[in-house]
């Protein structure tokens, strides 16, 4: 849609008017350097074609897609999609939760849209690198809440296991991700510590 592309460019975004299901287009926009692709085209068939093309050109790329029909989810995952979302199903669930568990829903909604609402709180993921001073130390030793005001909600282990509300004795290892909540400034401090090797 050339009108939408022009509007995006005027707003300062990077945009290309081309067919994203074509290999040449994906190569032109740097698919080999990309970390991820969001497949949100008009039909499930187009999204499936895009996923197959993207994964063929960059097998390590992470792909998220939406589906219109429930039966398409399995096909998308077989094609290599890492995350599949059904907009109508998700919206229906959120509407139900806003009635059944309004306070839980409000908390999750605030933490996911805090930045857009001008609030200084959010949830972030931080990868533990082999050189990080955080690696190999227990959460009790790190004292992230005391020193930085950071709450560790979970540890996503390298194996894929999600360890919710980890115990004080839990030890983050290289390849793990800390799922944390805190102010934007405190989260940036933790990211800097993890990346730079500064001692906590």
Q: How many residues does the chain have?
A: 200
The chain-wide mean pLDDT, for the chain, equals 89
Residues 59-80 have pLDDT tens digits of 999 999 999 988 899 999 999 9
Q: Is the pLDDT of residue 116 over 50?
A: no
Question: How far is Cα 51 from Cα 120, in angstroms, rounded to an integer?
Answer: 36
Q: Dump the DSSP string for the chain.
A: -HHHHHHHHHTT-----S-TTSHHHHHHTTTTT-SEEEE--SSHHHHHHHHHHHHHH-TT-EEEEE-SSTTHHHHHHHHT-SEEE-HHHHHHHHHHHHHHSHHHHHHHHHHHHTTTTT-S-EEEEEEPPTT-TTTT--HHHH-HHHHH--EEEEEE-TTS-EEES--TT----TT-EEEEEE-HHHHHHHHHHHHH----
Span 93-104, mean pLDDT? 87
Nearest to 38 by CA among 15, 76, 65: 65
Angle between helices 102-113 and 87-100 (to 10 degrees): 130
Q: How many CB atoms lie within 10 A of CB 153?
A: 16
pLDDT of residue 179: 95
Of 10-24, 29-43, 108-122, 184-198, give the lowest mean pLDDT range.
108-122
Q: Which residue is associated with the tokens 């799922």? A: 179
Predicted confidence band of residue 150 (pLDDT cuts 50, 70, 90): very high
Q: Is the pLDDT of residue 123 over 90?
A: no
Can you read off the two tokens belonging to residue 44?
A: 């499930």
pTM (2 decimals)? 0.69
Question: How far is Cα 155 from Cα 166, in angstroms, rounded to an integer?
Answer: 7
Q: Which residue is associated with the tokens 């299901």? A: 21
Strands 177-182 and 122-127 come out as antiparallel
pLDDT of residue 118: 56
pLDDT of residue 198: 52
pLDDT of residue 16: 94
Cβ contacts of 129 within 8 Å, gap of 6 or more: 135, 174, 194, 195
Span 15-23, mean pLDDT? 93
Predicted confidence band of residue 121 (pLDDT cuts 50, 70, 90): confident
Residues 151-186 have pLDDT tens digits of 999 999 999 899 999 999 999 999 999 999 998 889
pLDDT of residue 199: 53
Q: Is the pLDDT of residue 88 over 90?
A: no
Q: How many CB atoms lie within 10 A of CB 118?
A: 6
């Amino acid at each position: 849609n050339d009108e939408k592309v022009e509007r995006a460019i005027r707003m300062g975004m990077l945009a290309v008017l081309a067919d994203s299901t074509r290999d040449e287009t994906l190569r032109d926009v740097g698919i080999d350097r990309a970390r991820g692709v969001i497949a949100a085209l008009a039909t499930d068939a187009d999204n499936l074609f895009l996923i197959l093309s993207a994964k063929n050109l960059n097998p390590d790329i992470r792909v998220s897609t939406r589906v219109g029909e429930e039966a398409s989810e399995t096909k998308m995952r077989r094609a290599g999609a890492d995350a599949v979302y059904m907009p109508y199903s998700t919206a229906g669930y959120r509407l139900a939760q806003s009635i059944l568990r309004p306070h839980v829903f409000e908390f999750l909604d605030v933490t996911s849209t805090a930045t857009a609402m001008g609030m200084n709180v959010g949830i972030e993921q931080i990868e533990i690198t082999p050189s990080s001073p955080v690696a190999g130390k227990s959460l009790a030793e790190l004292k992230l809440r005391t020193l930085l005001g950071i709450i560790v909600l979970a540890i996503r282990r390298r194996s894929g296991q999600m360890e919710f509300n980890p115990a004080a004795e839990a030890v983050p290892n290289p390849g793990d991700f800390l799922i944390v909540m805190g102010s934007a400034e405190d989260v940036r401090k933790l990211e800097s510590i993890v990346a730079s090797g500064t001692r906590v």
